[in-house]
Amino acid sequence: MIHEPTIIGIADSTHYLVGTTDNNGDFSSLPSLKRVAVCQSLADAKQILRDQHIETATLNLQSAYDEMCGLGVPSTTTETIFL
């Protein structure tokens, strides 16, 4: 199973989550950390990954506003970032 280092940011949230996403789309902690990391900034989230010797990650920016407006699945913007 492939695990992709991932940073999740949610609209209007004051933090970012750092972990890994598997082939099924399940999000969990990095194998080298005991839990999902919660960071106060994107820069801090990137630094956690650098500290784990990770060079690329997926950045998922999510918004719950689509769901609040009655649209189906919340929108997600995904980007590969190089650390």
Do the beta carbons of residue 56 and residue 5 sit within 8 Å? Answer: yes
Domain that holds residue 26: 3-82
If one counts the domains in the chain, the total is 1
Q: Residue 75 and residue 9: Cα distance in Å, rounded?
A: 12
Do the beta carbons of residue 74 and residue 10 sit within 8 Å? Answer: no
Q: 12-44 pLDDT, tens per residue?
A: 788 999 999 999 989 999 989 989 999 999 999
Mean pLDDT of the chain: 87
pLDDT exceeds 70 at position 65: no
Closest CA to 81 of 38, 51, 42, 52: 42
Q: Residue 65 and residue 11: Cα distance in Å, rounded?
A: 8
User: Per the structure block, which two tokens stand in for 13?
Assistant: 């949230």
pLDDT exceeds 80 at position 68: no
Q: Looking at residue 75, what is its pLDDT?
A: 61
User: Per the structure block, which two tokens stand in for 33?
Assistant: 């950390």
Q: What is the pTM of this model?
A: 0.83
Do the beta carbons of residue 60 and residue 77 sit within 8 Å? Answer: yes
